[in-house]
Chains A and B, each alone.
Chain A
């Protein structure tokens, strides 16, 4: 038995089978509710408590390190006073943090009211595990009504859309990911294009004809044509326009309006935007 070809090459044969299974997963275009996606969704749930804990622990740790460095090198008789001061500063920092959080949530509430759409606020608890892709993890999921492809926005602008949803946690594909694409137009000239991520963390606007009038500083807003984002949300501003290289289209660099690395709370639109026809945005 142990000298047979199959037994001697069992690792490679099994690995080959697993490669085929992975290729099947990759190419079969799984639906969100497919059986093969359930373990992945369950894994999101498994790590949620650690991510929530670590997200909270980070703030505490930063405060601790700051306080410690402040106290190093002081004289002994001043320790008590300094400790009191540090404690008061810590309290003040926490108060400022609470005030900031309050302001952020108020901003999101104002935004929700302005949009006149159903939406829920969610805390950001993690980022992409590798870094080549641009995704983030939210501490809310299907239990409060979130679904795949719901739009995620912040007070500054568009953030992304949900790509995986577990009961208490979900993942967002950010608009600066190279797999992301959203329909948008230049607010001034009304030129339409597709906003997509590029590898350096920036965003580009594709498929805009060279004859179109696009200028640096123009605001790029969602067109509402993709059925995910409502029309008129700020995506970013044009930072560069060029006609270099062959092709029919302009090279347009866009600076996203939202700073994805600093986001702590976002708004998830739990209602699909009204359907638009092609004639609407122009």
Chain B
């Protein structure tokens, strides 16, 4: 419950930032997808049923503020959680490099998933997505270590255990 509580509050704060900053500043797709970083963090460091439920919750909450298809981000975020979970189980130690790579891949997966679910694979249009997706993935990946550190501090402060190596 503590895990869900902490992640719920941080998710709402992240979504508030993600929905208002692009309106205040001309950042557009340069806005890091903080909610997705939280999902990767869950997959890499929290290996319980609550983490899987929370990943679904973050995706569903993102659906409330993005796109027009309820359930799409919930689906993509659970996929990201599973992939991050598998990734972390395959590595003995988790440096920040693994987290950054996971976040980068997660943004690419979600952006393309969001586009393809709506528009299908139209060769010329999907090519337009690559530069902006790469840029957003890079910016989100750069922000990831700070988010991981914040969540690590919050979970430790709440007395929760997080996975730091393969067990």
Contacts and interface: CB of A to CB of B under 8 A. Distances in A.
Given A25-B71, A133-B68, A50 B62 contact: no
Nearest to B29: A131
A15 B81 contact: yes
B48 interface: yes
A132 B74 CA distance: 16
A228 B149 CA distance: 48
Greatest chain B CB density within 10 A among A177, A179, A199 is at: A199
A135 B60 contact: no
Contacts of A233: none
A22 B78 contact: yes
B16 interface: yes
Interface of B: 12, 15-16, 18-20, 22-24, 26, 28-29, 31, 33, 35, 47-49, 51-53, 55-56, 59-75, 78-79, 81-82, 85, 110-111, 114-115, 117-119, 125-126, 128-129, 132-133, 136
Interface centre among A30, A54, A124, A163, by most chain B C-beta atoms within 10 angstroms, is A54
Interface of A: 10-12, 14-15, 18-19, 21-27, 30, 36-37, 39-41, 43-44, 46-47, 50-51, 54-55, 58, 61, 124-133, 135-137, 163-164, 171, 173, 177-179, 198-200, 261
Given A55-B23, A128-B66, A130-B110, A198 B15 contact: no
Q: Which 5 A-B pairs have the closest CB atoms?
A: A25-B71, A26-B71, A58-B24, A22-B75, A131-B29
A63 B62 CA distance: 31
A72 to B, nearest CB: 21
Given A18-B56, A199-B115, A137 B78 contact: no
B119 A51 contact: no
B65 A137 contact: yes
Main secondary structure of the interface of B (DSSP, over half): helix
Contacts of A61: 24
Nearest to A59: B24
A47 B12 contact: yes
B20 A19 contact: no
Contacts of A26: 69-72, 74-75, 117
Contacts of B71: 22-27
A179 B118 CA distance: 6
A47 B8 CA distance: 12
Given A26-B70, A54-B24, A198-B125, A129 B49 contact: no
Nearest to A198: B125
B96 to A, nearest CB: 23
B143 to A, nearest CB: 14
Between B75, B82, B114, the greatest number of chain A beta carbons within 10 A of the residue's beta carbon is seen for B75
A72 B5 CA distance: 44
Contact of B20 (A18, A41, A51): A51
Nearest to B19: A126
Given A40-B70, A178-B115, 8 more contacts: A11-B49, A15-B85, A44-B64, A129-B65, A131-B22, A132-B29, A179-B69, A199-B128
A10 B128 CA distance: 40
Nearest to B25: A58
A184 to B, nearest CB: 19
Contacts of A21: 56, 74
The CB with the most chain A CB atoms within 10 A, among B70, B125, B129, is that of B70
Nearest to A166: B64
B140 to A, nearest CB: 10
B68 to A, nearest CB: 5
A97 to B, nearest CB: 15
A50 B9 CA distance: 13
A51 B16 contact: yes
A128 B22 contact: yes
